[in-house]
Amino acid sequence: MEWRTDWGLRGRMVLTILLLGGLYVVFLAVLWTAFQSLLVVVLLFGSFSLVQFFYSDRLALWSMGASEVDPTEYPELHRSVDRLAQQADLPKPTVAVAETSMPNAFATGRSQDTSTVCVTAGLLQTLDREELDGVIAHELAHIKNRDVAVMTIASFLSTIAFLIVRWGWFFGGGHNRRGNPSIFVAIAVSLVVWVVSFLLVRALSRYREYAADRGGALITGNPGALASALVTIDGRMDRVPKEDLREQAEMNAFFVIPIDRGFVGRIARTHPPTEKRVAKLRDLERELEI
């Protein structure tokens, strides 16, 4: 299938990234003023960015309790990934399985050559072959679009802002009456940056989910299979034990279907509503039939 660009969606993503960029320029300027040293800011951001960029994939797999599997353990899964990676014109990613009853999948890795597609045991037990292909193709579309790297970079300064809000009071001397006033200003600005970037990053994540849905449907040529898989997974999420949901809540941005149970889940939504995703896939299905 032809890999076509959704220019409306791309325009919204570019606008969101520009807004994040402007916000982060102001944030860096405030930090430079607060710390009164460009070297401190560079060392702080440089060291943290290297760790996040090079080890976020391992942390994601570790947090899910996922492990790499070989073709002798999951031959059908490997055959699907092999075939779909070829159709997407991608190097075959590492294949991993997480032993959890939650039916879901995610992709991770900083580049197309170092990517991993992880599915859960619950997903393998829930979907039929065509639906599973649709989900895998969706994750491969994330890899093709370099979404993991984009989201890691986009959320980087948001993470820094959160850490400053959380720990800045202590390190700035807030525990005594003669704390550094410039540090307190940095904490206040960090709080604003974190809240605004929180909303912008999640908007960007939702846009990229639509793009991955479209890309995955074009890889398989079967938008209906992915739509069916999304409905099936969404319906099964209600039956996943609450303990399982709490343990995996931090992985929302990576999942094919988010965990949006509870108040925190709703305000931190990283994916569009399933019904809207399915509607777009049905529209694409009709478009391909013409």
* Residue 209: CA count within 13 A, CB half-sphere: 26
247 is catalytic: no
CB 256 within 8 Å of CB 104: yes
How far apart, in whole angstroms, are the C-alpha atoms of residue 211 and residue 220? 15
Answer yes or no: are the C-beta atoms of 125 and 102 closer than 8 Å. Answer: no
What is the radius of gyration, based on Cα positions, of the chain? 20
- Which of 148, 145, 202, 154 minimizes the C-alpha distance to 6? 145
Locate 117 and state its tokens: 């597609």
Decide if 225 contacts 130 (C-beta within 8 A): yes
> Which of 2, 130, 139, 247 does the annotation list as catalytic?
139
Give me the numbers of helices (H) and strands (E) for the chain, helices first please: 11, 4
Known catalytic residues? 139
